[in-house]
Every structure is written in C-alpha cells, then in structure tokens.
C-alpha cells in the first residue's frame, strides 16, 4: 500500500493520473488574406489558423480563438518560403582567398549561424545549402534542428563534388599549400567518383551537389563547358540515387547541362546556356531548373565595377554569364520547364533572398508563378512536400506575412513582417 501511495503521489506531482494530462495550449492566427493553395493561386479571406505542438491542426472560417490570437487581419499570409540554393557559411567578397586558409570549420559555423538568422527573418523557413565545409554546415543544420540555433530548416550538401582540376578545386596558392587545404571532394574516374559520393553521404549529406561545368567566380580561365566525363556523372547520379539522395549540378554550358540530365540528374543550378536538347531533357518527371537570377545580377554588377575585387578571369566570365541568365530562364519558362526558387546567396547578401522574386517576374513569370517556385515547386524539388510548401493541417506551422498584395507586386516579399517556423515566432 505504501508503494501504491508513493506512485499515486508521484503521478499527481507530474500532472498525470485520473484527471489526465494538462491540455496543450493552442496558438491562433487571424489571417486577413491567406494563400490557401499556391499551386492554384487560391486566396481565402478571414481565416483562423490553429497551431498546436508546432503544427497546423485546423484552418477555420472566420476569426475564432481568444483575445491573445496573433492579429494578421491586415496582412497577406502565405507559407514559409524555400530557397533551394544558398551557402550559409560565408559571404563572397575580397577576402575569399585569405578566408579559405584562415577560417576554421568552427568559425564558418558561427558565421553560418549569423547568416541563418538573417535568412529566417527574411521569411525563408527552409533552405538547401549547396556547398559548405562538411563539419561546419552539418553542425549548423543539426543545431537548428535541435532548436539551439535560430535559422531555417537546412537541407545540406556539404562539400561540393568536383573533378580534380575542376571548378571545385583550389587555385591561386602555392602547390604545397593547395595540397594541405584541399577538401576531400575531388575525384577522377567513375569508380573514384562513386567512392566520394558514398563518403559524402556517410559524412551526413542530405543531397549531393556536383560541379558539372566551369564557374564564374573561380580564378580559372577554363571556360564554362563540361568538366566531368559522361561516365563520371552517371556513376555519381547512380550511386547517390541508390543511397536515397537527389543530385543537383552547378552547370552553365549546354554540354554539361545535357550530359548531367542524360545521366539522370535531378536539377540544374544556373542553366545559363540551356538549349533545345536541355529543354527536352528537363521534361523528364521531377527535373527542375534553379535559375539563381540574383547571383547573375550580382556578378554583373561586380564585373562592371572597375574597382571591384574579381580577378581578371572571373570578371570576364561574370560579364559573359550574368547578363544572359534572365533570358535563359525566360526561354525555359516559356517552354514549360519546372522552376524552383534559388538565389545562390553568399554571392548576393544573405537576407536579400526575396529580391529573386522580382527577377523571376522580369523573366516572364507572373507573381503567383514566382511565389510557386518558392513554395510548392521548391518543396517538390527537394522532396519535402510533407513538411513545407503549403499551410495545411498536419504540416509544421511555417508561416509568413506581409502587408499589401504580393500577387500584384511581388517586390513586397522583400519586406516580410511576420515569420513563424514550426509554431515559434521569430519576427513580429
């Protein structure tokens, strides 16, 4: 009997027993206008979003709930935005070359925490980080997921996979220095590339990112064409898919774009010189273009700055590539290519991600089509439909709001006034 009484007393102390657990508090959001379905553009008025345990449990007509409801009756409410291409651990600038040999993984992670907060407060509740030092980005991703660091949900690639001597390799240092600071992300030959993919996934990569062609910001005057061989690309994609990972490719030149898509790749970052064959290959189910127009706009401005920090090789490529990116996106959109939102932030400034929307509209997308790229399209592209892309019962409460009507002026999304991620408010 003494044991029974002790157990009963403990149950009472813990708040359990005959009376049951205490009810979980609910949060109510009063939404004046709600983007109920980004896929169709359906907007509903005067809705209450009910949130419990970080998830949406109901969306009700009218304004219901207590006096402490979050009042967004004068706002346009939409799902948390998704940026499918960022680099949270750094921001490009004149110190890039020095930073590579002085910054530790821990320092990169600290910078990443700062940039992650800026990105979240800009309304982006999910991002794909497509290239950062493994230890830094995986630690940041996990710290955010554990609730210890404020930031968007992170899908992380870690080290970008590159051929030896390709755009993901290092240039401009003494050879002995290069040998010391090279990351374990380089491969030559199909079997070696399979090994690197397996090791990258073993380290914790959620997605695999490769450098399929030349790049703009490297100090390598080797053009913008294909760098991996067809066999190497096929080995990379096949290995990643067998291990349950999608593969995306940095690619400017048409030959690299097409070789990667023929190998079964899932998406192209940039796509500047896509051609008719590219468009045909993009029609394969589930394949996306991530245009990163903000990166193109940024490097064009850098290239035109006579006092800028770009090397001669990088400046020449910036002035060649940057001005062409909007035209390539316009052609792809007109042909019905699926587009997902991505900025390549670190080239552009973290927190300015929403500037991409206006550039997408400049490329021919309507405002709702541009918003779709950062909601349902990006969620499908990244395979996270069950977690993000819409405000729906059962999903995490990732919710943002803005004054005015972004369906009329998409630039309003550069001024997000309310941010909630998984039921927690980060900006109000």
179 versus 32: the higher-pLDDT residue is 32
Determine contact, residues 31/75, Cβ cutoff 8 Å: yes
Nearest CA among 379, 399, 421 for reference residue 149: 421
Residue 24: what pLDDT?
63
**Phi and psi for 425 in degrees, rounded to 5?**
-85, 130
Strands ordered across the beta sheet of 267-270: 208-211, 247-251, 267-270, 288-290
Tens digits of per-residue pLDDT, 17-47? 333 444 568 999 999 999 999 999 999 999 9
Report the CATH fold assignment for 2-79+392-427. Answer: Urease, subunit C; domain 1 (2.30.40)
Residues 236-264, mean pLDDT to the nearest whole number: 97
Cβ neighbours of residue 20 closer than 8 Å, sequence gap 6 or more: none
Cα–chain center distance at 428: 23
Cβ neighbours of residue 170 closer than 8 Å, sequence gap 6 or more: 100, 178, 181, 182
In this structure, what DSSP letter does residue 412 have? G
Name the percent of the chain lying above pLDDT 70. 93
Instruction: For residue 7, name the pLDDT band (cuts at 50, 70, 90).
Output: very low
- 3-class DSSP state of 197: helix
Mean pLDDT, rounded, of the chain: 92
Cross-strand bridge partners of residue 418: 401
Element holding 302 (H helix, E strand): helix 293-303
Domains of the chain: which residue ranges? 2-79+392-427, 81-382
Report the CATH fold assignment for 81-382. Answer: TIM Barrel (3.20.20)
10 versus 265: the higher-pLDDT residue is 265
Instruction: For residue 139, name the pLDDT band (cuts at 50, 70, 90).
Output: very high
d(CA 98, CA 88): 18
Tens digits of per-residue pLDDT, 263-310? 999 999 999 999 999 999 999 999 999 999 999 999 999 999 988 888
Nearest CA among 154, 155, 141, 134 for reference residue 203: 134
| pLDDT score of 122 more than 90 | yes
| pLDDT score of 89 more than 50 | yes
Least confident of 46-50, 169-173, 186-190, 296-300: 169-173
421 versus 218: the higher-pLDDT residue is 421
Residue 23: what pLDDT?
54
d(CA 394, CA 54): 10
């Amino acid at each position: 009997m003494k044991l029974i009484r002790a157990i009963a007393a403990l149950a009472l102390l813990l708040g359990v027993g005959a009376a049951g657990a205490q009810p979980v508090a609910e949060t109510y959001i009063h939404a004046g206008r709600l983007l109920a379905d980004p896929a169709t553009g359906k907007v509903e008025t005067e809705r209450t979003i009910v949130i419990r345990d970080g998830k949406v449990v109901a969306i009700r007509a009218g304004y219901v709930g207590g006096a402490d409801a979050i009042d967004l009756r004068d706002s346009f409410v939409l799902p948390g935005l998704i940026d499918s291409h960022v680099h949270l651990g750094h921001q490009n600038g004149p110190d890039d070359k020095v930073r590579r040999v002085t910054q530790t993984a821990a320092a990169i992670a600290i910078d990443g925490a700062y940039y992650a907060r800026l990105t979240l407060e800009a309304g982006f509740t999910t991002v794909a980080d497509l290239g950062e030092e493994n230890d830094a980005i995986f630690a940041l991703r996990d710290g955010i997921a554990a609730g210890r660091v404020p930031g968007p949900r992170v899908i992380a690639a870690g080290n970008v996979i590159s051929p030896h001597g390709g755009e993901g390799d290092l240039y401009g240092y003494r050879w002995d220095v290069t040998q010391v600071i090279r990351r374990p992300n380089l491969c030559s030959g199909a079997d070696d590339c399979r090994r690197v993919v397996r090791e990258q996934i073993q380290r914790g990569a959620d997605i695999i990112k490769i450098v399929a062609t030349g790049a703009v910001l490297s100090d390598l005057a080797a053009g913008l064409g294909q760098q991996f061989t067809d066999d190497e690309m096929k080995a990379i994609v096949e290995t990643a898919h067998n291990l349950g990972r999608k593969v995306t490719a940095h690619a400017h030149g048409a030959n690299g774009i097409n070789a990667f898509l023929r190998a079964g790749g899932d998406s192209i970052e940039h796509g500047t010189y896509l051609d008719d064959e590219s468009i045909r290959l993009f029609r394969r189910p589930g394949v996306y273009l991530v245009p990163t127009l903000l990166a193109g706009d940024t490097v064009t401005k850098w290239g035109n700055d006579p006092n800028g920090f770009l090397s001669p090789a990088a400046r020449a490529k910036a002035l060649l590539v940057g001005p062409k990116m909007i035209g390539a996106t316009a052609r792809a959109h007109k042909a019905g290519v699926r587009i997902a939102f991505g900025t390549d932030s670190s080239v552009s400034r973290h927190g300015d991600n929403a500037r991409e929307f206006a550039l997408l509209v400049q490329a021919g997308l309507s405002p709702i089509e541009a918003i779709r790229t950062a909601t349902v399209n990006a969620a499908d592209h990244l395979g996270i439909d069950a977690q993000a892309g819409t405000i729906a019962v059962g999903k995490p409460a990732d919710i943002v709001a803005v004054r005015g009507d972004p369906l009329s002026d998409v630039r309003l999304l550069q001024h997000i006034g309310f941010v909630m991620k998984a039921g927690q408010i980060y900006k109000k």
